[in-house]
Amino acid sequence: MKKIPIHLLNSQTYCEYQIYLEYVKGIKVKPTLEMNKGREIHNALEKEHKKKAKFKLSVMDAIKKSQKEKITLVGREIPVTGNYLYGFIDEIHLMPDQIVIIDDKPNSYPFFANKKQVFGYCLAFEEQFKTNFPLIACIRNRDSKKIVWKETFSENHKDIVFESVKRILRIINQNKKAEPTNKINKCKSCRFRNVCDIYKIRFSKRD
Ligand code: SF4
C-alpha cells in the first residue's frame, strides 16, 4: 500500500488490531447499522449543499476567489491526497485568512482518535494545496450541527500523524505486531468482534 486512507488514523488509535484483521488477514466485514446511518446523513448533507451551492470551482480557484473577494466559500466532500494519506474532507470553509476543515461525527465528545483523523485531513490538504494559511481542525456533531472541538493545526499535530502513519505502514507491511486495545469495552462495540480472535479469547474466558 503506497498511501493510507485517512480513516485508518482513527482505527490505529481505536485499536490497531482492526488494521491487522482488515489489511493483513484480508477480513472484510459488513458496514454496521451506525455506519449505514452515517452514510445516509452524509449523503443528505451533500445533497442539501449541492442545492444551495452557487459556484462549481476547483479548490485552488475557490481559494483564489475567497482571497480576492474577501469572502467565505464552503465545499463538501473534498478529495485530498497528500504524500502518505488520502481521503475526503466532509466540509471545508475557505476564508480569506484561514481554512477550516470539518469532520462530521455522531458524537458530541472529541475523542483523540477523531481529532487525529482531522489532523490527517489537514496534513493531506496542506501537502496537496501548499497553502500558507492557518488550518483549523474542527469536529462537528452531524445531528446538532454544533462544533464540538476546534484547534489550529500545528507542527506537533503533524508529528502525531507521522508517528501514526509509520505504525500503520509497519503493521500492514508486517514489520510490527498490531497492539489490540486494552479497553475491552471498545471490543463490545467493534465491527470486527465476530471475526476477531482476541475478542473470542477475551470473552470466552468470561463465560
Ligand atoms: S474486537 Fe477488540 S481487539 Fe478485536 S479488533 Fe475489535 S477492538 Fe480490537
Model confidence, pTM: 0.92
CATH T-level topology, domain 4-193: Lambda Exonuclease; Chain A (3.90.320)
Indicate left, alpha or beta for 100 from its phi (over 0: left) and psi (-120 to 50: alpha). beta
Encode pLDDT of 165-178 as tens digits. 999 999 999 988 99
Amino acid (one-letter) located at 110: P
* pLDDT band (50, 70, 90) for residue 138: very high
CA distance 85 to 7: 9
Task: Give DSSP secondary structure letters for 150-161.
Answer: EEE--HHHHHHH
**By the 8 A CB rule, do 75 and 92 touch?**
yes
Residue nearest to atom 7 of ligand 1 (CA): 187
- Per domain, the residue ranges of the chain are 4-193
CA distance 17 to 196: 9
As given in the structure block, the three cell numbers for residue 57 are 470551482
Measured in Å, residue 169 CA sits from the centre of ligand 1 at: 19
Ligand 1 pocket test target in 12, 13, 16, 18 with most atoms within 8 Å of CB: 18
Encode pLDDT of 13-59 as tens digits. 999 999 999 999 999 998 888 888 888 888 888 888 788 877 788 99
